[in-house]
Amino acid sequence: MAKYIFITGGVVSSLGKGVAAAGCGALLQSRGYTVHARKFDPYLNIDPGTMSPFQHGEVYVTNDGYETDLDLGYYERFLGAKLTRNDSVSGGRIYWDVLNAERRGDYLGGTVQMIPHVSNRIKEYIGAPIDTDFVVCEIGGTVGDIEGKIFLESIRQFANQVGRRNVMFVHLTLAPYLEKSGELKTKPTQMSVRQLLENGIQADMLIVRTPRMLTADERGKIGMFCNLPAKNVISGIDVDNIYKIPLAYEAQHVFDIIAEHFGLPNASGNMERFQKIENYLGADIPTVNIGVVGKYFDVPDAYKSLNEALFHAGIQNNVHVKIHKINAEDFTPDACNGMHGILVPGGFGTRGVEGKIAAARFARENNVPYMGICLGMQVAVIEFARNVLGIENANSTEFDKNCTPIVDIMPDHDAADMGGTLRLGAYPCEIKPGTRAEQIWGTNKISERHRHRYEVDVKWADKFAQAGMVVSGISPDGRLPEIVEIPSHPFFVAGQFHPEFQSSPYSGHPMFNAFIAAAAKH
Task: Clarify whether residues 28 and 149 are in a common domain.
Answer: yes
How many other CB atoms are there within 10 angstroms of residue 167's CB atom?
23
Last residue of one domain, picked from the residues 238, 261, 277: 277
The per-residue pLDDT for 179 is: 85
Q: Is 429 an annotated catalytic residue?
A: no
Residue 296's SS3 state is coil
The torsion defined by the Cα of 362, 490, 303 and 212, in degrees rounded to 10, comes to -120
- The size of the chain, in residues, is 522
| Among 36, 452, 489, 498, the one annotated catalytic | 498
Task: Clarify whether residues 365 and 263 are in a common domain.
Answer: no
The rounded distance, in Å, linking the Cα atoms of 108 and 122 is 20
Total domain count, the chain: 2
Task: Clarify whether residues 11 and 137 are in a common domain.
Answer: yes
| Among 398, 448, 455, 500, the one annotated catalytic | 500
Task: Clarify whether residues 242 and 311 are in a common domain.
Answer: no
The per-residue pLDDT for 1 is: 85
CA within 13 Å, CB half, 41 = 22
Do 17 and 9 touch, CB atoms closer than 8 A?
A: yes
Amino acid letter, 41: D
Last residue of one domain, picked from the residues 228, 262, 277: 277
Last residue of one domain, picked from the residues 251, 277, 303: 277
- Burial class of residue 289 (count of CB atoms within 10 Å of its CB; 0-12, 13-18, 19+): middle
Kindly report the CATH number assigned to the domain that includes residue 354: 3.40.50.880
Task: Clarify whether residues 53 and 80 are in a common domain.
Answer: yes
The rounded distance, in Å, linking the Cα atoms of 517 and 318 is 9
CA within 13 Å, CB half, 159 = 19
- DSSP letters spanning 237-273: E--SSGGGHHHHHHHTTHHHHHHHHHTPPP-----HH
The torsion defined by the Cα of 296, 503, 478 and 388, in degrees rounded to 10, comes to 50
Task: Clarify whether residues 248 and 316 are in a common domain.
Answer: no
Tell me if the bond preceding 48 is cis, omega within 30° of 0: no
Kindly report the CATH number assigned to the domain that includes residue 271: 3.40.50.300
| Among 24, 226, 374, 403, the one annotated catalytic | 374
Q: Is 374 an annotated catalytic residue?
A: yes
The per-residue pLDDT for 498 is: 97
Task: Clarify whether residues 45 and 62 are in a common domain.
Answer: yes
Task: Clarify whether residues 231 and 254 are in a common domain.
Answer: yes
What's the pTM?
0.93
The tens-digit pLDDT sequence of the chain (522 residues) is 899 999 999 999 889 999 999 999 999 999 999 999 999 999 999 888 877 766 677 889 999 999 998 889 989 999 999 999 999 999 999 999 999 999 999 999 999 999 999 999 999 999 999 999 999 999 999 999 999 999 999 999 999 999 999 999 999 999 998 988 888 999 999 999 999 999 999 999 999 999 999 999 999 999 999 999 999 999 999 888 999 999 999 999 999 999 999 999 988 899 999 999 999 999 999 999 999 999 888 877 889 999 999 999 999 999 999 999 999 999 999 999 999 999 999 988 888 999 999 999 999 999 999 999 999 999 999 999 999 999 999 999 999 999 999 999 876 554 434 334 789 999 999 999 999 999 999 999 999 999 999 999 999 999 999 999 999 999 999 999 999 999 999 999 999 999 999 999 999 999 999 999 999 999
Q: Is 498 an annotated catalytic residue?
A: yes
Domain range enclosing 187: 3-277
Task: Clarify whether residues 260 and 225 are in a common domain.
Answer: yes
Task: Clarify whether residues 342 and 473 are in a common domain.
Answer: yes
